Structure 1
């Protein structure tokens, strides 16, 4: 057992005791983010070096051993745990760990499951194993990537209100009508159709005010319905030409999920994979796709397979360095929309300077979903977090709350609510009807409400009140 002796333990009344099995990319990210939010974290992994590294860096407990062992779970305090998360590399081990944890105590359990066979049975697994959540990083990445390819001018596309609303990040191009326009003027021109959220300029992020002047080169987020998003982008000079074909390098699980979704959207798909056995598997799984056996980092092969004619390019190899180099090569050789998978973030500033465009990280997609669950579990019960996304290197949060009947915030015009600074109400979803609110609109019990804020850490809707 290890504990970092350099930091004092900060115990909060609402903190949860959480056990994480697996100290890989996802497990370490969860340990870091959940411990920052004041939770009591214990991590279990058979790799002593990984456990030692995390306990040296973070104020968490560490146990070396098998997370499926009852004795190790007992050492970790499974009887007192509020949440158990299994995120090892093995689906079967994750499910076994959760099963033993549930048999040992009445703890809420979350399993990472990546296999397509298991993913098709998520509802069955949740019900029969009593899991609070089953999360699939590769499937989440594929969904995000497919949404971006549907709106190729966007840098990110995040879904809210069960697909009725989208939070979109884009860079304002030169010549756009947004260049030089104030937020107040923007509101007059687009009243009721779209809400502008956070704006990043020269590395600084802000929630814009009425007198904020937007400029070409700014990166902004806006919220709209899917149909309204396309209309808005066209009106401000950002065209979204539909993508007809896509080249994917790497034939892993994420590639399979993404190809399946793109084929369903009517987009032609070509996958380049260097493992012959995997190529044969993909040929059977995806008969409508073109599967190429070869090294996707071979420049001659890429040109031979018509890289210059592709309209979308997605490197999904297992190495960040390869994905980055492939992205840079594609941006040099083509005008294709490129989506890049990056798992490690050791050199964030360097990666940002490379201007890779749309960058997705499975570990953060996974951790955002789990953190949303953790915050909802910590809340007092007046609301529940339905969706959470971190933006701009975790400096901004976009959250969707389901609201219960709370007199502090319901049935009061928004103009009469004293909100925290740098907090914006983007929409109210009332009985399935999306409202982009004015000062006269009110939140009612049963609504879901989306918030964008630079005040990270909200756990319930009333946290937005000053």
Structure 2
């Protein structure tokens, strides 16, 4: 697979890094020589210095031979032009574009039907708002995602010393938990990702990931001593575009919302665009202001400024002053391992939200959605089991899967199956697969061709 990426910023850099580790042919284009130098120094991909909307540069990048052209510069207009020129040069090349401006929201479908003929429009701000809503819906979780239109959820929770099942082997859980049991498919311990077997014990401090039907969510959370609680009051620190989108969504749900923003001109814009939210002009890390606004009554404090150090400080301060829960916007992967150590569990990253959306459209086979786990260590993806693959028609125990791969769920019509070794995947079943990063290229082959090499 050949992929041309326009834009060597954070999203372009990390997508290129992700794909190069999977031995895909990647060409990355940017008119910033410093950004291109950074890519060349760290990633084994072809680089070109030039404007991504230039026909000559796109020709040089080999867009005619590319299966995918991904436009992720910081300029919406450049991304639109790159898609339009690519369509002229190579109509068969699939075009994905990151479009962030709110002015374009209502035109996304038009961009797909008409020139620039984009196949997929990605708005990371919309995606991160969805992520925040998922996290708010399960207050005890550090990570939340969903598949099959929300019927199946995967949840990440941190185990405390008081969690009843701490110390138990996974093979012991059937005797400890009668009836419904969620499938634990991943354990993060001391920042090391483990695909568990029945012999593995659960220990305090583990971040465990499990999968469950939505209807069983509350029962599953109780097993881990976590509880879903309604969200009635939200305080947002930072009044940028993500904050505005989130506040509009919360207004639709009749959630009492306050926004603290330092820039007076931005406060005026927020007050004009919001109907019921309270907009406060001030410093979100000011203890006196937070106390004055009764932060201890907030169900969730969400820090969304453009400065991640400010977000971290404000979240820690909010917890110290009595907020039940915080969600912190972070954009540096290197910070992620530190968050639990300093007392922050729920983190959102707009870049990672964009990467997740992009990956599902790049994966081979009929991949419907894909979500990264712990930055880029692993993925969990939903796909259609094609009749032409060896994954169908035989018990899972008889299939030799690559190391670090686990089928967590089979969706057959309205039926949700948590599989055992005897389970059989039927043609056109939807399956949810967890895979470590290094196993993903083999998973793509599983989803698209016969497994003759196993």
Match of 2:426 among 444, 448, 460: 444
Equivalent residue number for residue 141 of structure 2: 154
How far apart are the structure 1 equivalents of 2:341 and 2:224?
Answer: 26
Q: Secondary structure at the match of 2:366?
A: strand
> Which range moves more in the overlay, 82-91 or 339-348?
339-348
1:305–1:143 distance in 2 versus 1, CA, 3 Å: same
Q: Is 1:42 matched up with 2:30?
A: no
CA distance in 2, matches of 1:435, 1:260: 37
Correspondence for 1:137 among 105, 113, 124: 124
What's the CA shift string for 1:21-48, capped at 9, x where partnerless?
2222111111211222212222222221
Alignment CA distance shift 1:54-1:228 (3 Å): same
- Select which of 388, 392, 399 maps to 2:381: 399
- Tell me by how many angstroms 1:20 deviates: 1.4
Instruction: Tell me whether 383-392 or 95-104 shows the greater mean CA deviation.
Output: 383-392
Q: Normalising by structure 1, report the TM-score.
A: 0.89
Q: Could you tell me whether the CA contact under 8 Å between 2:386 and 2:447 is conserved in 1?
A: no
Equivalent residue in structure 1 for 2:212, among 224, 243, 259: 224
Counterpart among 98, 113, 122 of residue 112 in structure 1: 98
Instruction: State how far apart, in whole Å, the 1-side matches of 2:281 and 2:323 are.
Output: 25
Q: Is the 8 A contact 1:151 1:230 kept in 2?
A: no
Contact 1:234–1:240 (CA under 8 A) maintained in structure 2 = no
Specify the alignment match of 2:73 in structure 1.
88
| Structure 1 pair 260–433 and aligned structure 2 pair: CA distance change class (3 A) | farther
After superposition, give the CA deviation of every residue in 1:3-30 in whole Å (9 maximum; x if it has no partner).
xxxxxxxxxxxxx222212222111111
**TM-score (norm. length: structure 2):** 0.91
CA distance in 1, matches of 2:110, 2:179: 44
**Structure 1, gaps ≥5 residues long:** 1-15, 377-382
- Is the CA contact (8 Å cut-off) linking 1:423 and 1:452 kept in structure 2? yes
C-alpha separation in 2, matches of 1:385 and 1:371:
9
Distance of aligned partners of 1:421 and 1:74 in 2 relative to their CA distance in 1, 3 Å threshold: closer
Superimposed CA distance per residue, residues 309-354 of structure 1 (whole angstroms, 9 cap, x where no aligned partner): 2110111111111111112212222242111111123455444532
- Cα distance in 1, alignment partners of residues 160 and 53 from structure 2: 52
Distance 1:120 1:228, change over 3 A: farther
Q: Please say if 1:329 is aligned against 2:288.
A: no
Alpha carbons of 1:228 and 1:117: their partners in 2 closer, same or farther (altered >3 Å)? Answer: farther
Structure 2 portions without partners, runs of 5+: none
Partner residue in 2 for 1:428: 410
Instruction: Find out whether 1:171 has 2:154 as its counterpart.
Output: no
Equivalent-residue separation in structure 2 for 1:18 and 1:390 (angstroms): 20
Change over 3 Å in CA distance of 1:190–1:145 after alignment to 2: farther
* Pairing of 1:348-387 with structure 2 (within 5 A): 348-351=336-339, 353-376=341-364, 383-387=365-369
Q: Which has the larger displacement, 256-265 or 359-368?
A: 256-265
3-state SS, counterpart of residue 459 of structure 1: helix
The 1:223–1:348 alpha-carbon spacing in structure 2 relative to 1, beyond 3 Å, is closer
Q: Using the alignment, how far apart are the partners of 2:4 and 2:402 within structure 1?
A: 33
2-structure distance, mates of 1:329, 1:309: 14
Structure-2 separation of matches of 1:246 and 1:281: 20
